[in-house]
Amino acid sequence: MKTKLKLIALSGFIGLASFLALPADDFAGDARSATAAAYPVEIFTANCAKCHGTDGRAKTAKGKRLHATDFTTDWNTDETRGIHIITNGKDDMPSFKKTLSPDEIRSVFHYVVSLKQ
């Protein structure tokens, strides 16, 4: 029970920290845009971590099997290309255009770029 409470508290803290770290002009759009921009970690965890891992290293069983990109190493961080891949998919990676809004896709892309060391 304590573990569940700690996970809930940690998730809330991460969401709040992500929200507070964004510049005010990120919230110029509608409420969904603001929410998407505030929670890229949660969006990544729910949609990408199964292959790319929560740390972006692609060391999961599925990530290894599919040769998923390790986001902590040298990879092409071009925004247009990255957003196109997330939106339309590539090879074994599915398309997220019906699952995520354009603002959510952009938000997740910028989160992924932040994992690069």
**What's the CA gap between 67 and 58, in Å, rounded?**
8
Q: Whole-structure pTM over 0.85, yes or no? A: no
**What's the CA gap between 65 and 73, in Å, rounded?**
18
What would the pLDDT profile of 49-93 be if each residue is shown by its tens digit?
Answer: 999 999 999 999 999 999 999 999 988 999 999 999 999 999 999
Nearest to 71 by CA among 100, 49, 102, 97: 49
Can you list the domains of the chain with their CATH numbers? 31-114 (1.10.760.10)
What band does 26 get if pLDDT is binned at 50, 70 and 90?
very low
SS3 call for 85: helix
- Beta carbons of 77 and 113 less than 8 angstroms apart: yes
